[in-house]
Structure 1
């Protein structure tokens, strides 16, 4: 099995369908199917059995998995280490972050970078899903949690206080909530993943059981939009709430932990010229906030 064959094998294993594997590899489905058939013929063994839920490893496939993953790690190590010596301000950079951070910081940074170095191109993925930087799924990631995986270099770009905010229109209709009454009589806009992770759901330390969850969203950009629209009271970074013209409720109350933003890259890539240049542009955007 060579590396090209291993890529096909691993993609089918991870995606479980030929269509999804082809999409991840940027190949057409027929090509992936032919490559799998040729690989199984060369090995003299079936690597997958097709089930109602997708392609599942056979016993032979299970035996092939660890060596194929070792080939993958070696290929990515080679790619990272050689690209880390690349001094050209040209080529592609893969960036992953949330939609809110992309709009506020990454896209302006790309604009500044491209004005200076038009031969650099950016592949931007906006998602809350964490990707594997060791596998080169991304060269740069902006995350709200510091990673712990070995080989990654993390730099904290921001540590923002989180406070309660509402629009002037909302407060005209509903008035201010009373501290200690768990938002009784009030509508709330909440970030669903954060609330789901709490043992006792709360905003800025105040339990929310007395309020009504008017909007539960899965992106910070949607949360800001919901608060701006007057749908309910929400917990957002203090500097962003002020910039949006919102009114802060209970200025003395804030979330126990600040909202942190970490810029992450692999240690083998951090000195690549084009990656270093984009890191500098992104960092500049945070310094100006």
Structure 2
């Protein structure tokens, strides 16, 4: 079985379209279609139902997918083992993370790592509701809810805390409520419940029940900026909001504690660039643990 054809198959599966797959591989649309046709002829069965809206794997395509992924991982391992141990770290590593952690911690940390390894390309992407490490949608992922099943390596990075915050300008204008029960005259900034991708993001309900007005933002960064600008009161990450000038922590008796977990696929854990990034992230969380728990 031709690996070049299999990598075409994997790209089409992951992107759902021939054109998007071609772009990701640096090939033209005709080449991708031709090689996919050749793979289907060699197997004697169609691998995709090709529709105007995209390509949907057939049953044969679904059966081939884990086989192709195993071959891909094996080739990654072989390639890595043949490299000089002293060679510089190079290549691309994609890490998925919650947007608050990505914007207020990882972006600066990973930027420092790439300065040390100029041939390493790090892609930091916001974590969607669903993703697949086996399909290479990310090489590493930081999550709030560890998976209950599946063949993944899971390590706990750190706990982190959240508290209730308001901008000083908001409190000067609207007054400081003395308790959660006194929020009836205030605006509460929260997330959007049906867009929350983890059960651990349920803390805003404690304020929303008492709120006189509500303003919902789907992203953590949006919530922080809304509170910072004086839009209302919200539950925010201490490691982010605590460092913003003009933010006031209120209701000291109200707080929340959650955890971050790092996920990696066992077939890629020895790939040098992924191993370097995984070790760097784990170490920086250990070193900065006090920053996350306040």
TM-score range, shorter chain: 0.7 to 0.9
**C-alpha displacement of 1:249:** 1.6
Corresponding position of 2:72: 76
**C-alpha displacement of 1:47:** 4.5
Deviates more, 1:20-29 or 1:155-164: 20-29
CA change 1:238–1:112 in 2 (3 A) is closer
Matched, 1:251 2:246: no
Quick one: distance in 2 between partners of 1:102 and 1:202?
20
Deviations 1:196-216 (A, max 9, x none): 688xx76373443543122x2
Q: How do residues 79-158 of structure 1 correspond to structure 2 at under 5 angstroms? A: 79=75, 81-82=77-78, 85=81, 87=85, 88-96=87-95, 97-119=97-119, 121-129=120-128, 130-158=130-158
| SS in structure 2 at match of 1:76 | helix
Kept after mapping to 2: 8 A contact 1:164/1:203: no
Kept after mapping to 2: 8 A contact 1:84/1:270: no
Unaligned runs of 5+ in 2: none
How many residue pairs get aligned? The number is: 279
Corresponding position of 1:242: 242
Corresponding position of 2:172: 172
Kept after mapping to 2: 8 A contact 1:205/1:254: no
**C-alpha displacement of 1:40:** 4.1
Corresponding position of 2:5: 5
Matched, 1:203 2:204: yes
Quick one: distance in 2 between partners of 1:144 and 1:229?
27
Corresponding position of 2:264: 265
Matched, 1:28 2:24: no
Quick one: distance in 1 between partners of 2:98 and 2:203?
23
Kept after mapping to 2: 8 A contact 1:15/1:21: yes
| SS in structure 1 at match of 2:183 | coil
What's the TM-score once normalised by structure 2's chain length?
0.78
Deviations 1:85-119 (A, max 9, x none): 56343222413224433343333333433443334
Quick one: distance in 1 between partners of 2:9 and 2:59?
11
Unaligned runs of 5+ in 1: none
Quick one: distance in 1 between partners of 2:135 and 2:283?
27
Kept after mapping to 2: 8 A contact 1:165/1:227: yes
Quick one: distance in 2 between partners of 1:39 and 1:70?
16
**C-alpha displacement of 1:233:** 0.8
CA change 1:208–1:44 in 2 (3 A) is same
CA change 1:78–1:49 in 2 (3 A) is closer
Kept after mapping to 1: 8 A contact 2:161/2:255: yes
Quick one: distance in 2 between partners of 1:242 and 1:40?
57
Kept after mapping to 1: 8 A contact 2:187/2:211: no
Kept after mapping to 1: 8 A contact 2:90/2:117: no
| SS in structure 2 at match of 1:176 | coil
